[in-house]
Amino acid sequence: MVNFFTTAVGIFRRLINLLIALASLLLSAIWLTIRDLYYCIANLFLPRRHVGSVVLSDHPGHGGVWPQFQAPIQATDSRSPCPALNALANHDILPRSGKHISYKQLSHAIQHAYNLAPSLADQLTASAYQLDQGRGWIDLQDLSALNVIQHDASFTRPDIAFCPDQGAPHPDLVDKFLSHASNGKSLSLDDIVYFSGLRRAECRRTNGQYSMTWSFLHQFFGSGNNALMYSVFGGDVKDLRVWLAEERFPDQWEPKNREARGHTIMQAMSTTLIIELNINEKRKLRSEAREP
């Protein structure tokens, strides 16, 4: 029977659940920070990995030799809005089907293929927890849910309002992004900042359902992805074209970040903040000649 007492119990139960959730979130954030600090300090003292051995010898991709690429089968394979994860599935480092992937598998794969510190790999993986409905695993396609991690104004996919299938890159968009390398060969941080502002302004203007305007978290996620891309590829246009448009590792490619214990959360955070805080959607356009 519904009465004042049952309602009060309902409020109390929800408050307790909220407190437990907040406490466990806080504890895992503290634990992640301590681990990350350890990797930051280790990186300060240990020599960087040698060129040719950035991916360790017992992992796929060592010496730039990646398992065979196979484009996904559209009808059956599951793919995400993330080029990093799709490339891993296309090379069979994650299951080619893109289905039933555990968090341990996910974290392990991104850590070794992209030379990330275990703390950063775990943090990125944790962003998918909200999508698994308590199953403990995901299909790559689950990551396409709007405004959980996926957001508008991506560099390689049109907004979901125009393109419900976020699992495949659009090479024309990739070309447009890469054409903004001011020296033609390598995107600088400033090129990425400039293009982010341009892309956000364009999507805001053309998409009546644009959802990034007040979503600072998703703006931050977007810059976070681009910061990682910049650190791992060093802005190299030739490599990025293969990775972003085909979701394939270029032959002989290895991560440009060579930290002994992998790229850390603190490094990723600082590059993310540099990008995000410099984005200005109203910035003066570069000269016409460079616009696609």
Site residues, ligand HEM (CB under 6 A):
80-85, 106, 110, 114, 124-125, 127-128, 143, 149-151, 154-157, 225-226, 228-229, 232
Tell me which long-range contacts 155-158 makes (C-beta under 8 A, separation of at least 24): 155/195, 155/199, 155/226, 155/244, 156/83, 156/244, 156/245, 157/81
Per the rule left: phi > 0, alpha: psi between -120 and 50, beta: everything else, 157 is beta
Nearer to ligand HEM, 6 or 164 (CB): 164
Nearer to ligand HEM, 96 or 263 (CB): 263
Residue 223 and residue 196 in contact, taking contact as beta carbons nearer than 8 Å: yes
Eight-state DSSP code of residue 256: S
Residue 105 and residue 167 in contact, taking contact as beta carbons nearer than 8 Å: no
Token couple for 202: 């364009």
Nearer to ligand HEM, 43 or 174 (CB): 174
CB of 271 to ligand HEM, least distance (A): 12
Nearer to ligand HEM, 12 or 129 (CB): 129
CB of 115 to ligand HEM, least distance (A): 9
What is the three-class DSSP state of 102? strand
Q: How far is CA 156 from CA 103, 201, 225, 226, 265, in A?
A: 25, 16, 12, 11, 24
CB of 209 to ligand HEM, least distance (A): 14
| Total count of residues recorded for the chain | 292
Nearer to ligand HEM, 43 or 257 (CB): 257
Nearer to ligand HEM, 96 or 245 (CB): 245
Q: At 203, which helix (H) or strand (E)?
A: helix 189-206
- Smallest CA-to-CA distance from 170 within 101, 81, 71 is with 81
Nearer to ligand HEM, 40 or 131 (CB): 131
Q: In whole angstroms, give the CA distance from residue 235 to residue 239.
A: 8
Nearer to ligand HEM, 130 or 183 (CB): 130
Residue 155 and residue 194 in contact, taking contact as beta carbons nearer than 8 Å: no
CB of 140 to ligand HEM, least distance (A): 9
CB of 70 to ligand HEM, least distance (A): 20
What is the three-class DSSP state of 137? strand
Residue 110 — φ and ψ, nearest 5°?
A: -70, -35
CB of 20 to ligand HEM, least distance (A): 25
Token couple for 135: 């199953």
